[in-house]
Amino acid sequence: MTDFNAIQETLVNLDEARLLQLVKDALDQGTPAGGILNKGLIAGMDIVGEKMENEDMFIPEVLMAAQAMGKGVEILKPLLGEDATSARGCAVIGTVKGDLHDIGKNLVAMMMESAGLAVHNLGVDITPEEFVKQVKEKQANLLCLSALLTTTMPMMKQTIDAVVESGLRDQVKIMVGGAQVTQAFADDIGADAFAPDAGSAAKKAKALGS
């Protein structure tokens, strides 16, 4: 019987070689790939996210964990069903127009992928029109907007207004974040959620996107 706790602990401990061996062993034992993904890898990244929130783990370690998980997922991919990795929701994420910061946004995207969402990372300097277009094309049920500068934060409201005008607001939840963004600001512009860091962003995205 597969010890999912061992997979989780190995991921949290950043032991990539052992993690990949445990994933292969679990498959050899006949454990379904979806179970290994959800009960082992995704559950392990949930713990990583919590540790990041509590400042028990920091960005370099979180990146290492996410990369190790990614290699584990590569092993499982051929055995996963078509919708196994996107069943938790589809997210479009990007940094708003005028803002070129992407390190935090990329970490959030990586953590969201690790939480089992299908993530479309648009990059930086994205116009409201492009966000709307991508939400429509990808049929996303979650839109994540990032802004690091106080001067670009108003673009978040313009993007939300564009989503409302497009008629898509009822089908998509909107989460915002960035160094200067606050819960009060998120409430003021009509966002559904605010996340102060990548760990909590992944947790909220999973709740909103499912």
Q: Which of 195, 98, 102, 196 is nearest to 155 (CA)?
A: 98
According to CATH, where is 3.40.50.280 located in the chain? 90-209
Give the residues across from 118 on adjacent strands.
90
What pLDDT score does 82 carry? Answer: 46
What pLDDT score does 53 carry? Answer: 86
- At the top level of CATH, the class of 4-79 is mainly alpha
Cβ atoms < 10 Å from Cβ of 112: 30
According to CATH, where is 1.10.1240.10 located in the chain? 4-79
Taking CB atoms within 8 Å and a gap of at least 24, the contacts of 75-78 are 75/20, 75/23, 75/24, 75/27, 76/23, 76/27, 76/33, 76/36, 76/37, 76/41
What pLDDT score does 210 carry? Answer: 61
Cβ-contact 81, 155 below 8 angstroms = no
Determine the topology of domain 90-209 in CATH: Rossmann fold (3.40.50)
User: How far is Cα 118 from Cα 13, in angstroms, rounded to an integer?
Assistant: 25
What pLDDT score does 85 carry? Answer: 46
DSSP code at position 168: -
In tens digits, the chain (210 residues) has pLDDT values of: 889 999 999 999 999 999 999 999 999 999 999 999 999 999 999 999 999 989 999 989 998 999 999 999 999 988 876 444 445 789 999 999 999 999 889 989 988 888 888 999 999 999 999 999 999 999 999 999 999 999 999 999 999 999 999 999 999 999 999 999 999 999 999 999 999 988 889 889 988 876
Cα 92 off chain centre by:
10
Amino acid at 84: A
What pLDDT score does 199 carry? Answer: 82
